[in-house]
């Protein structure tokens, strides 16, 4: 469908008119709406899986594991707890506010939200934020990725069957359509993608002072540190799974490994065995292995691999016809090389050796770079691991595990600095799309003149003494 600035404006206006009817304020209405969304996902599961296969080469198992299943789980959590989350908070007003006794905080929707979603997990990263927006009582305009056209088409067909466009509308098209959306005045914007585009989103949002949530990949990538005391086989198994997932096109993926030089050789041998065990000797021909999203992404991966051809110790091959590129280990790579100072978003995995006794210096180097979205450490030294996780700046992470922090109910998913702002999943998503409004209920009797003039003379001195007493 062709979109124009006028048609986008009309859509936003229709959603604003619907929001102003007050229908979305009713929590029971929101629950019914979310149940419709959940049932639509279940009814269109096969269509969504087919679309993910067409766009990214994902098998039905991986599609359900990473895209469809988490959306259903997210909606289920919201349905179980939404009434409690949406309940107004009651607070004692305090002596300073006497004679008022009660102040309430109402969780109000922002209004019309804009969700801009990426290609790599098109279902999860579109419908997950949508569920959060609806749970808070907003309407939603979705600009889905043009790089995953089959998924965008499947979700659009699904949503049009279930919701009127005055509540939920999905727009296809490229950056021009996204810019049309950003020209409009929204009440909340939720963007998932790259830090570079996020700057543009923020600039446009600033024109209307629109609050923005950003979920980004780390600009200098997500590090995984393997200490000499780690269980090398366990680390290799989990790291191989993570790097194979969606062919490395994951915002919380391992961008580079820093491995203790003392155990680098046995660790790399274990990692090679795990890649082969999990995906076979020729992953570029394995139909279960996802492909890179576009010929341009495939060529970029090939070009990077070619620059490091003399340091490829595993993989390095690909098939341009199906856009699959094998998981590829590059070793040794220096900490200051360009390839470990950028987000790769492909199956290349540079490995940086370091002396285990200098692990703290390594963490200082990482801390000086832009904050990653994820951080992973493998070590049997839990004290050191906890120290790292409580002193570094990053979105989220794991100790002796990968990516599973994303799947824990009730905890936030978020970034910091160049990896994002804001948080969602469960109650955190409800909060992200809600504005807390504080309302004090006053009294028409027993009102004191403490706050009123005069502030000088005997009356002023008396009021000052009372203020100091109240504020203790």
Long-range contacts of 40-47 (CB under 8 A, 24+ apart): 40/158, 40/159, 40/161, 40/162, 41/68, 41/71, 41/72, 41/75, 41/127, 41/158, 42/72, 43/158, 44/154, 44/157, 44/158, 47/154, 47/157, 47/158
Q: How far is the C-alpha of 151 from the C-alpha of 153, rounded, in Å? A: 5
Q: How far is the C-alpha of 230 from the C-alpha of 243, rounded, in Å? A: 19
Q: How far is the C-alpha of 264 from the C-alpha of 352, rounded, in Å? A: 9
The first and second tokens of residue 28, run together, are 């029971």
Q: What is the DSSP string of 190-215?
A: EEEE-HHHHHHHHHHHHTTT--EEEE
89 catalytic per annotation: no
CB contact burial 77-112 (16+ within 10 A = b; e otherwise): bbbebbeebbeeeeeeeeeebeebeebeeebebbbb
Q: Which of 62, 184, 215, 219 is catalytic?
A: 215
343 catalytic per annotation: no
Q: Which of 224, 251, 398, 403 is catalytic?
A: 251
Closest listed residue to residue 334, CA positions, set 352, 348, 354 = 352
For residue 216, list its beta bridge partners. 193
CA 305 to the chain's CA centroid: 28
Strand order in the sheet with 348-354: 312-314, 328-330, 348-354, 256-260, 223-226, 374-378, 396-399
Q: How far is the C-alpha of 38 from the C-alpha of 78, rounded, in Å? A: 11
DSSP 8-state secondary structure symbol assigned to residue 343: -
- Element containing residue 14 per DSSP (H, E): helix 5-19
Q: How far is the C-alpha of 332 from the C-alpha of 350, rounded, in Å? A: 8
Q: What is the CA radius of gyration of the chain?
A: 26
Q: Are 123 and 151 in contact (CB under 8 A)?
A: yes
Q: What is the DSSP string of 49-107?
A: HHHHHHHH---HHHHIIIIIHHHHHHHHHHHHHHHHHHSPEEEE--GGGTT--EEEEEE
Residues assigned a catalytic role: 215, 251
């Amino acid at each position: 469908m062709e979109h124009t600035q006028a048609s986008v404006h009309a859509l936003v206006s229709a959603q604003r008119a619907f929001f102003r009817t007050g229908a979305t304020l009713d929590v029971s209405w929101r629950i019914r709406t979310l149940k419709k969304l959940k049932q639509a996902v279940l009814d269109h599961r096969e269509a969504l899986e087919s679309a993910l296969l067409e766009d990214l080469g994902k098998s039905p198992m991986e599609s359900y594991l990473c895209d469809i299943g988490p959306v259903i789980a997210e909606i289920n959590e919201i349905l179980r707890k939404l009434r409690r989350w949406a309940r107004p908070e009651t607070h004692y007003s305090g002596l300073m506010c006497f004679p008022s006794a009660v102040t309430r905080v109402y969780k109000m929707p922002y209004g019309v939200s804009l969700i801009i979603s990426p290609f790599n997990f098109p279902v999860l990263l579109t419908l997950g934020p949508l569920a959060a927006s609806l749970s808070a009582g907003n309407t939603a305009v979705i600009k889905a990725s043009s790089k995953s056209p089959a998924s965008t088409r499947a979700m659009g067909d699904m949503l049009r069957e279930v919701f009127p466009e005055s509540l939920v509308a999905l727009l296809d098209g490229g950056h021009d359509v996204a810019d049309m959306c950003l020209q409009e005045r929204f009440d909340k914007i939720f963007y998932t993608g790259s830090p570079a585009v996020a700057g543009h989103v923020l600039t446009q949002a600033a024109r209307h002072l629109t609050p923005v949530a950003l979920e980004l990949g780390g600009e200098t990538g997500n590090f995984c540190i393997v200490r000499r005391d780690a269980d090398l086989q366990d680390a290799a198994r989990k790291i191989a799974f993570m790097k194979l997932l969606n062919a490395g096109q994951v915002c919380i993926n391992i961008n580079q490994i820093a491995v203790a030089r003392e155990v680098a050789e046995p660790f790399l041998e274990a990692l090679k065995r795990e890649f082969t065990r999990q995906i076979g000797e020729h992953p570029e021909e394995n139909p279960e292995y996802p492909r890179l999203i576009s010929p341009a992404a495939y060529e970029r991966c090939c070009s990077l691999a070619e620059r490091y051809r003399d340091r490829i110790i595993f993989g390095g091959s690909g098939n341009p016809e199906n856009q699959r590129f094998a998981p590829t280990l590059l070793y040794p790579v220096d900490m200051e090389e360009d390839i470990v100072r950028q987000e790769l978003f492909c199956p290349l995995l540079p490995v940086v050796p370091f002396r285990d006794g200098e692990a703290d210096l390594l963490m200082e180097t990482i801390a000086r770079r832009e904050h990653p979205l994820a951080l992973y450490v493998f070590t049997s030294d839990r004290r050191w691991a906890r120290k790292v996780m409580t002193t570094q700046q990053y979105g989220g992470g794991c100790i002796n595990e990968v990516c599973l922090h994303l799947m824990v109910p009730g905890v936030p998913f978020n970034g910091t600095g160049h990896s994002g702002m804001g948080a969602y999943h469960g109650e955190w998503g409800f909060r992200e799309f809600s504005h807390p409004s504080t309302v004090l209920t006053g009294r028409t009797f027993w009102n004191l003149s403490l706050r009123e003039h005069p502030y000088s003379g005997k009356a002023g001195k008396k009021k000052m003494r009372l203020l100091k007493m109240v504020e203790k």
